[in-house]
Structure 1
């Protein structure tokens, strides 16, 4: 086996696509593919399966990945890289749709300015990729994971409130107490496809009834509320961003937390550490915005 082929293998495992791995290593994709096939031939096993979205590790690939990472860490320790050197490579980050759209993406340019050699794959969706299964390098979750080879810490607390458009409130019955919610149309999640139990906001609000307008997307709920469709529970960093929305029933505040999760084997990679350090500092600076 040619040991120089292992960085190709590691890059494909992390990026999930041969082309992205080649780009991260600044080599030609054809060359990367040829060297990966050479590595598979020397080991006598297939390391990846080709799927519609790229390359997926086989069981043999998973076994090699464990050893290759150990070798990479040992090599890094022997090199004693210069402190403060440039960060290169790609980091994949899985976040909730709202946090990714309304908070993280708004500030990502500052990270790119600080680390021109760092590429970020921001996966902001209704659902999360799993650090345990190495689907992502970093995840920001709504609950602390209970198991897995993970390093977890609280990133930030955040607040949620009830919001409605000013036009809606001007043309609707009074909304002065929780009991008044019975006279208003509510906006919320689709109950049977919630991807996290922490999203059951309306269960915690006295007087709240089943929402008439429902969506799996917090962005769609925000739009419905903005256009005057009804009353919605929104994170404060989303609801307070729109001058068209007003807080209603200000005494009702829900609290949730974001948890920052990395895999124990990759948490010391330079690109992972750079993103974690940046996001932690960002959340601390914007604590008031997040908590509402």
Structure 2
């Protein structure tokens, strides 16, 4: 077993595809396949499950990742120490984060990072779900409710606020004197039994009862429903600010404060590509909020 084969293994593990790994390594995909096969032969175990969807780590592959990444980290640190120069970031970095933050807070920073580092592949997964860093579902995550256990490094990024909003055409002739009047209005929110984070149960927090008349797992869809006069919905202020036509409803009563948290795995937090990418996105979020 040699480090060069481990380097090929890491690129395939991070991207899930031979072609992406080959592009990052500036070789053809046949070379990547051959080097991965050589490593599997040396270890006498299968490291990937191959399928038309790509390469997925086996249990053996997941066990190998921390050691491979530790070797990579030491190699890069040595190169920086000896060479005394800034190293370009290479390979894939996958971040899981809420849809609102992904679409409204980090896109410019993500684009700038990839311009600065042409061989970096930044994958932003904005799905309504949690991510297991120990299972390598993401390299790091931005969350609303930080996990309580695991070998994780957790840092608060910043607070943000949400309020109940409505379109003026919907609100015309429908004055609300207090949250008790919400029962007489159509509400827009998350699908109740698909709320994956308790911090997203906004309607219950402002005193609304029952299920929303219009619901979606997507916050962007909820925004569009409010803009379409579908009803009243709780939206982050930073999203509503892009649509000046929206009006806050009972703003002092319905104001909610949440926070974004950065979550990294202890084994990979200090890898250059993860450390610098997570810092850039977190800094961008703080600056926007």
Query: Aligned to 2:106, what secondary structure does the other structure show?
Result: helix
Aligned to 1:221: 222
How many aligned positions are there? 286
Task: Provide the C-alpha distance between the structure 1 equivalents of 2:209 and 2:86, rounded to a whole number of angstroms.
Answer: 52
Q: Is the 8 A contact 1:156 1:258 kept in 2?
A: yes
Aligned to 1:244: 245
Provide TM-score, normalisation by structure 1: 0.91
Question: Offset at 1:250?
Answer: 1.1
Question: Offset at 1:208?
Answer: 5.0
Query: Aligned to 1:72, what secondary structure does the other structure show?
Result: helix
Question: Offset at 1:261?
Answer: 0.9
Unaligned 5+ segments in structure 2 are none
CA spacing shift, 1:107–1:247, aligned 2, 3 Å: farther
Q: Aligned Cα RMSD in Å?
A: 1.9
Task: Provide the C-alpha distance between the structure 1 equivalents of 2:36 and 2:10, rounded to a whole number of angstroms.
Answer: 10
Aligned to 1:13: 13
Provide TM-score, normalisation by structure 2: 0.92
Task: Provide the C-alpha distance between the structure 1 equivalents of 2:248 and 2:85, rounded to a whole number of angstroms.
Answer: 47
Query: Aligned to 1:125, what secondary structure does the other structure show?
Result: coil
Question: Offset at 1:60?
Answer: 2.2
Task: Provide the C-alpha distance between the structure 1 equivalents of 2:279 and 2:74, rounded to a whole number of angstroms.
Answer: 23
Query: Aligned to 1:159, what secondary structure does the other structure show?
Result: strand
Aligned to 2:118: 116
User: Does 1:35 find its partner at 2:59?
Assistant: no
Task: Provide the C-alpha distance between the structure 2 equivalents of 1:282 and 1:66, rounded to a whole number of angstroms.
Answer: 28
Question: Offset at 1:145?
Answer: 1.2
Aligned to 1:182: 183
Task: Provide the C-alpha distance between the structure 2 equivalents of 1:256 and 1:264, rounded to a whole number of angstroms.
Answer: 25
Task: Provide the C-alpha distance between the structure 2 equivalents of 1:3 and 1:87, rounded to a whole number of angstroms.
Answer: 19
